[in-house]
Amino acid sequence: MSLEKGTLTGFIGPNGAGKTTTINNILNIIKPDNGKITILGMDSITNDLEIKSKLGIVLDDGHFYEDLTLQKMKSLIAPMYPTWNDHDYQFYMKKFKLPEQKKIKNLSRGMKMKYALVLALSHGAKLFILDEPTSGLDPLVRSELLEILKDLVCENHKTVLMSTHITSDLDKIADYLFFIFGGKIILHGQKDELKEQHAIVKGNPAVLLPELENHFIGINKSNYGFEGLTANKAILKKLLPNETVYEVPTIEELMLYYTRRHQ
């Protein structure tokens, strides 16, 4: 698994697939049984402190001292980073409209996520690792946070790894995808290419001969029609009647069909 510089990579998979374990390995919270992790050209274990100073980490549960104000929390975190930039901190605090004197326990979940991003943006991080950053947010706050992430990649050329179960967010902003299941990567590549390579096929179940089913990742059938995911769109277009419908799949549909196939 590798990340393209200046892109946002979506990291997806069902619960228990190994996403958090992978992130914990990357962050050196747990050590891998074998293999090697290289971050920004450095070994993740021997260069741990130097790597951490260049990472922007946003975890779903925040890990802040709830009784501190945002200003007090910043005063604890800033000295840990030799590249801390207070000008950047103030800029993003104003941009995200965050009240410095408010206690963290009184922030909404969306404000906590924004604050975590402010801290990550204030020490010149080159790689951002986000674990479920939009989970539990209302649609308006989620949309705002996605715009922030899009700007992070497009305007600031930062690299982002984003683990999430809200795949519709990745439909909007991801450049690449890694789909993990049972601790193994079973699908990966550029998001638009993966979606173009696959198709949701819908049609009359009467035309779905047994030999055609081999061209599907998975199929749902009823008396009224069938729907399936294929990676062999060109072949099926030759074999199925013209009234068959082909649609570009969402990331959620890709994940659901591949998950069922590997269960």
Token duo for residue 125: 């991080």
Contacts of 78 (CB under 8 A, 6+ apart): 84, 86, 89, 122, 123
* 124 lies in some domain: yes
Phi and psi dihedrals of 174, rounded to 5?
Answer: -75, 145
Token duo for residue 257: 């069909």
Is this structure's pTM higher than 0.75? yes
Residue 124 per-residue DSSP state? T
Strand partners, 187: 179
Contacts of 141 (CB under 8 A, 6+ apart): 108, 110
Q: Are residues 181 and 237 both part of a single domain?
A: no
Crossing angle between the packed helical segments 86-95 and 109-121, to the nearest 10 degrees = 150
* pLDDT score, position 61: 67
Q: Are residues 256 and 186 both part of a single domain?
A: no
Query: What CATH number is given to the structural domain containing 160?
Result: 3.40.50.300
* pLDDT score, position 113: 87
Q: Are residues 205 and 185 both part of a single domain?
A: no
C-alpha 141/C-alpha 156 separation (Å) is 21
Q: Which domain holds residue 107?
A: 8-190
* pLDDT score, position 32: 87
* pLDDT score, position 132: 87
Token duo for residue 154: 């497009």
Q: Are residues 97 and 145 both part of a single domain?
A: yes
* pLDDT score, position 154: 86
Q: Are residues 143 and 231 both part of a single domain?
A: no
Q: What are the residue ranges in the chain where pLDDT is below 50?
A: none
* pLDDT score, position 156: 81
Contacts of 211 (CB under 8 A, 6+ apart): none
Q: Are residues 35 and 163 both part of a single domain?
A: yes
> Which of 190, 208, 231 is at the close of a domain?
190
* pLDDT score, position 62: 66
Long-range contacts of 61-68 (CB under 8 A, 24+ apart): 62/104, 62/112, 62/116, 64/104, 64/112, 64/115, 64/116, 65/104, 66/103, 66/104, 66/105, 67/103, 67/104, 67/105, 68/103, 68/104
Strands (E), 118-253: 127-131, 159-163, 176-181, 184-190, 199-203, 216-221, 226-230, 245-247
Q: Are residues 68 and 173 both part of a single domain?
A: yes
- Domain tally, the chain: 2
Q: Are residues 180 and 205 both part of a single domain?
A: no
Q: Are residues 103 and 203 both part of a single domain?
A: no
| Burial group, residue 157, by CB count within 10 angstroms (0-12, 13-18, 19+) | exposed
* pLDDT score, position 194: 96
* pLDDT score, position 258: 94
